[in-house]
């Protein structure tokens, strides 16, 4: 039984509607130990026959037997296995990896065939010694002579220890001395292997051959035995395993860096993708952020996007321990316990003509370093004003405002008989959108004034019912009738009741009668029993309470300040925190929730203008199109850059690598380069954040892109590199390894 047997085998080519014959009706038997020379003029079909025998090309007619087994039914996978078990190739053009060393080129075939690193080194070095290149083992093959390169190719072919060595014009590019050395080496190999050499110079090889086959016009015209050989009974094929994951990674890393120009060009491409995607998305977020400034909320007036309103999940008041816990979080800028007044508008007046209304904020939240008119405050009775540049009154009356004395006033606050005289220390002018929707003024007060405003806010946010003569009466908001008011003249446990509403009491007699005040809100409910010890009317109101305006207080029930606090001011149940970095607000929000707090982010609860939804749709489409365009551009640019890889991947296919392995190696190579590009991209953002350099596009990216979005961009880049490698690999594998070697992708 012959090692290789061909029975009437024909090979045809089809190109542009024309069928051409590579060779026709070839029959021959080839055995181990033979040194076969196939000769003939150019175009006679000798190289085509060699490619079919080596499994690099298919055939259309007849049958080829390998060790007695038919191959006409072989799939591409079967031929890959055949090449790995039986074939060692030596090429006229060497087909070495020029960017690899001598050692790495010989090692490559063993790595592809599943050998482990510790098993390889000794074997590779012995082969390099055998071909006389030991001192060049760490030399890149691009620096070797033609004869030395062919010796490397022979060592690589021997590394697999296959029963068949195929050599196509192995001396075609060599001088006579190098050619004789290579042929002598091949003849020594042929003692226990089948060596098939295609040559156009038979005289050069004549003294080594055992058999001569001559071809003409696709047919064998001579098959002459020169020397007798001893056939082996049992043919030993090459043992191989699948390439290990570690070896795939080694080769992928090696390929990523082996050609510097290719590495730098691909690195630039992926850096461009990272910056293009992140800048486009960040620009969109910047525009969206600007439009968010036009959003509004019907319940909240302070629409600062860095604001998070929080309360405790167990509905208990905040403690000092809670404040410490919150302040330890990385991104917390301020903790504002005066949340009750943040979303209220308050007023100050000068007892004459001027009223100034606006949002109320504590003075320690003033974010500007200076004022435009006046000076910074020096004591608790001085106020700062931030006003829109369009506020006509404050702009034109600034000097008069600074000279006037103002007083606090609020129709939402209980009268606790304090009258604060205030001076306006300074005025700051800003653009309207820097304040908030619907307001053009912010009043910055001391904590003392803020406490005054806070005092009555819990009543405003509570349902209050007064039980008189076993009947509960609900006090409606902004209605003085039976409204509970704190007054310093009322003793604890007592109440002053309006005489004009005595009909609520039994027999219209209220004095010394019991009443109950019931309070209910989202955080607590309570009820306090009081005794009416006095009734008031227009004549005695001032004497009893110190208040002068009866019509402003008519119908109220006055109680002591302590009792008022027992009903309404049991502690702080809701606060505002503001973050330092808006881009990290979601992380801070999760940390707060994890620490036992309910959260409400202002930025997530705005009613936005209609054009922002149009922007979302347009930008989503634009980003999808951008990703698609970047993919196409990157693929075609990558294809040009990787054109030289055509030879590499064709070579490793000829050496027995599978399609899957080739795809994996390419994917690893591109993913490694894309990862390095991404790391450099992140490094550029960090350098900006540490003020190492300034560049506006980086500023936009650094400001508006979150860690989560950076991860998404990383995934996009990784997927792009992976799918580009798959598409590139599909193009490589459309044709046979030989065809791919000869053609552009």
Euclidean distance between CA atoms 360 and 362, whole angstroms: 7
- 220, burial (CB in 10 Å: exposed 0-12, middle 13-18, buried 19+): buried
Segment 129-149 mean pLDDT: 91
709 three-class SS: helix
Beta-sheet pairing, 557-559 with 494-498: antiparallel
pTM over 0.85: no
Determine the Cα–Cα distance for residues 217 and 21; give it in Å rounded to an integer.
9
Confidence check: pLDDT of 125 > 70: yes
Residue entry with tokens 């019907």: 298
176: left (phi over 0), alpha (psi -120 to 50) or beta: alpha
With CA atoms as reference, report the closest residue to 664 among 680, 652, 682: 652
Which residue ranges does the chain devote to CATH 3.40.50.300?
4-234
Higher pLDDT, 653 or 218: 218
Bridge partners of 219? 216
Give me the pLDDT at residue 216, please. 93
Pairing label, strands 164-168, 194-198: parallel
Contact 89, 152 (CB under 8 A): no
d(CA 480, CA 618): 53
Q: Are 98 and 142 a contacting pair, CB within 8 Å?
A: yes
State yes or no: pLDDT of 282 exceeds 50.
yes
Residue with tokens 């630039």, as numbered in its chain = 268
Predicted pLDDT of residue 192:
80
Determine the pLDDT at residue 744.
Answer: 42
Under a CB-based contact definition with an 8 Å cutoff, are residues 313 and 597 in contact? yes
- Residue 90: CB partners within 8 Å, gap ≥ 6? 150, 153, 154, 157, 165, 166, 167, 168, 170, 186
- Of 60 and 117, which is predicted with more confidence? 60
pLDDT tens-digit series, residues 206-244: 989 999 999 999 999 999 999 888 776 666 666 777 888
pLDDT of residue 600: 94
Query: Which pLDDT value is given to residue 630?
Result: 81
Residues 6+ apart with CB under 8 A from 628: none
Between helices 260-292 and 659-689, what is the axis angle to 10°? Answer: 50
Pairwise CA distance, residues 676 & 398, whole Å:
59
**Alpha-carbon Rg for the chain in angstroms:** 45
* Residue 466 β-bridge partners: 473, 517
- Residue 470, classed as helix, strand or coil, is coil
Angle at 336 between CA 330 and CA 341, to 5 degrees: 155
Top-level class of domain 295-336+573-607: alpha beta
Instruction: Indicate whether 469 pLDDT > 80.
Output: yes
Distance in angstroms (rounded) separating the CA atoms of residues 603 and 577: 13
Contact 73, 249 (CB under 8 A): no
**Rounded distance between C-alpha atoms, residue 15 and residue 5, angstroms:** 29
How would you write 524-563 as a 3-class SS string?
CEEEEEEEEEEEECCCCHHHHHCCCCHHHHCCCEEECHHH
pLDDT band at 640 (very low <50, low <70, confident <90, very high): confident
pLDDT for residue 709 is more than 70: yes
The tokens for 508 are 């219209």
Output b/e per residue, 555-593; b: 16+ Cβ within 10 A.
ebbbbbbebbebbbbeebbbbbbbbeebbebbbbbebbe
For the segment 528-556, the average pLDDT, to the nearest whole number, is 92
DSSP 66: E
pLDDT of residue 423: 92
- Candidate CATH numbers 2.40.160.20, 3.40.50.300, 3.20.10.10, 2.60.40.1180; the one for domain 4-234: 3.40.50.300
Cα 480 from Cα 459, distance rounded (Å) = 13
- If 0-12 CB within 10 Å is exposed, 13-18 middle and 19+ buried, where does residue 543 land? exposed
**193 pLDDT band (50/70/90 cuts)?**
confident
Burial classification of residue 193, based on how many CB atoms lie within 10 Å of its CB (0-12 exposed, 13-18 middle, 19 or more buried): buried
Beta-bridged to residue 362, according to DSSP, are 445
H or E stretch including 168? Answer: strand 164-168
Is there a contact between 237 and 162 (Cβ–Cβ < 8 Å)? yes
Q: Which residue has the tokens 């040194």?
A: 35
Tokens 């798959």 label which residue? 726
pLDDT of residue 745: 38
C-alpha closest to that of 492 among 557, 559, 566, 543: 559
**Please, which residues bridge with residue 388 across strands?**
430
Which residues make up the CATH 3.30.70 domain(s) of the chain? 295-336+573-607
At residue 343 the predicted structure's pLDDT band, cuts being 50, 70 and 90, is confident
Alpha-carbon distance values, 228 to 32, 36, 221 (Å): 12, 12, 21
pLDDT at 412: 46
Burial string for 135-163 (b: 16+ CB within 10 Å, else e) reads ebbeebbeebebbbbbbbbbbbbbbbbbb
CA distance 528 to 326: 34
Nearest-CA neighbor of 656 among 85, 202, 64? Answer: 85
**Higher model confidence: residue 736 or residue 508?**
508
In this model, does residue 742 exceed pLDDT 70? no
| Structure-model confidence comparison of residues 398 and 238, the more confident one | 398
How far is the C-alpha of 721 from the C-alpha of 262, rounded, in Å?
15
DSSP state of 690: T
CB 105 within 8 A of CB 143: no
Cβ atoms within 10 Å, residue 720:
22
Nearest 10 degrees: CA dihedral of 681, 684, 690, 693? Answer: -160
pLDDT given at position 681: 93
């Amino acid at each position: 039984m012959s090692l290789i047997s061909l029975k009437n085998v024909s090979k045809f080519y089809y190109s542009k509607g024309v069928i051409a014959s590579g060779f026709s009706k070839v029959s021959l038997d080839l055995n181990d130990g033979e040194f076969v020379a196939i000769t003939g003029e150019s175009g006679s079909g000798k190289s085509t026959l060699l490619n079919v025998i080596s499994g690099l090309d298919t055939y259309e007619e007849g049958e080829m037997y390998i060790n007695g087994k038919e191959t006409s039914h072989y799939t591409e996978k079967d031929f890959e296995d055949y090449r790995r078990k039986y074939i060692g190739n030596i090429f006229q053009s060497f087909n070495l990896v020029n960017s690899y060393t001598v050692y790495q080129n010989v090692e490559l075939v063993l790595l592809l065939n599943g050998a482990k690193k510790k098993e390889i080194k000794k074997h590779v070095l012995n082969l390099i010694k055998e071909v006389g290149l030991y001192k060049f083992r760490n030399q890149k093959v691009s620096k070797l002579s033609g004869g030395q390169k062919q010796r490397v190719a022979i060592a690589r072919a021997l590394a697999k220890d296959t029963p068949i060595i195929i050599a196509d014009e192995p001396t075609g590019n060599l001088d006579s001395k190098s050619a004789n050395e290579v042929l002598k080496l091949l003849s020594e190999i042929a003692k226990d292997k089948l060596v098939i050499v295609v040559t156009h110079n038979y005289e050069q090889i004549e003294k080594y051959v055992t058999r001569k086959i001559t071809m003409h016009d696709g047919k064998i015209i001579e098959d002459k035995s020169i020397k007798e050989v001893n056939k082996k009974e049992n043919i030993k094929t090459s043992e191989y395993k699948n390439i290990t994951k570690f070896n795939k990674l080694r080769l992928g890393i090696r390929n990523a860096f082996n050609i510097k120009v290719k590495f730098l060009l691909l690195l630039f491409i992926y850096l461009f993708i990272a910056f293009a995607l992140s800048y486009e998305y960040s620009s969109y977020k910047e525009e969206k952020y600007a439009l968010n400034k036009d959003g509004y909320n019907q319940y909240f007036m302070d629409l600062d996007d860095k604001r998070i309103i929080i309360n405790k999940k167990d509905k208990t008041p905040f403690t000092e321990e809670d404040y410490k816990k919150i302040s330890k979080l990385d991104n917390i800028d301020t903790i504002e316990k005066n949340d009750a007044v943040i979303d209220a508008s308050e007023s100050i007046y000068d007892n004459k003509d001027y009223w100034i209304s606006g949002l109320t904020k504590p003075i320690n939240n003033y974010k500007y370093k200076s004022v435009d008119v006046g000076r910074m405050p020096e004591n608790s009775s001085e106020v700062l004003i931030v006003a829109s540049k369009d506020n006509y009154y404050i702009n034109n009356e600034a000097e008069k405002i600074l000279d006037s004395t103002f007083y606090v006033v609020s129709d939402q606050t209980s009268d606790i008989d304090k009258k604060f005289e205030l001076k306006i220390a300074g005025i700051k002018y800003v653009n309207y959108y820097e304040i908030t929707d619907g307001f053009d003024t912010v009043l910055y007060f001391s904590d003392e004034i803020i406490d005054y405003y806070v005092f009555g806010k819990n009543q405003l946010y509570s349902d209050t019912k007064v039980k008189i003569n076993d009947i509960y009466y609900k006090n409606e908001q902004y209605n003085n009738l039976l409204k509970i008011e704190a007054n310093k003249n009322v003793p604890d446990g007592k109440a002053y009741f309006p005489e004009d509403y005595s009909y609520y009491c039994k027999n219209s007699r209220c004095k010394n009668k019991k009443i109950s005040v019931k309070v209910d809100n989202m955080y607590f409910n309570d009820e306090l029993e009081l005794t009416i010890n006095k009734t008031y009317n227009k004549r005695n109101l001032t004497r009893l309470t110190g208040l002068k305006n009866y019509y402003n207080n008519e119908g109220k029930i006055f109680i002591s300040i302590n009792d008022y606090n027992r009903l309404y001011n049991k502690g702080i149940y809701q606060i505002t925190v503001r973050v330092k970095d808006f881009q990290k607000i979601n992380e801070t929000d999760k940390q707060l929730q994890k620490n036992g707090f309910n959260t409400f982010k202002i930025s997530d609860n705005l009613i936005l203008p209609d054009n922002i939804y149009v922007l979302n749709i347009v930008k989503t489409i634009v980003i999808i199109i951008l990703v698609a365009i970047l993919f196409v551009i990157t693929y075609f640019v990558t294809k040009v850059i990787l054109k030289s890889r055509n030879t590499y991947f064709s070579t490793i296919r000829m050496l027995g690598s599978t399609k899957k392995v080739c795809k994996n190696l390419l994917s690893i190579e591109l993913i490694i380069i894309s990862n390095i590009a991404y790391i450099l991209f992140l490094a550029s953002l960090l350098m900006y954040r540490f003020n190492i350099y300034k560049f506006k596009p980086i500023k936009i990216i650094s400001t508006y892109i979150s860690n989560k979005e950076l991860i998404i961009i990383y995934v996009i880049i990784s997927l792009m590199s992976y799918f580009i490698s798959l598409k590139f690999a599909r193009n490589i594998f459309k044709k046979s390894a030989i065809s791919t070697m000869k053609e552009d992708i």
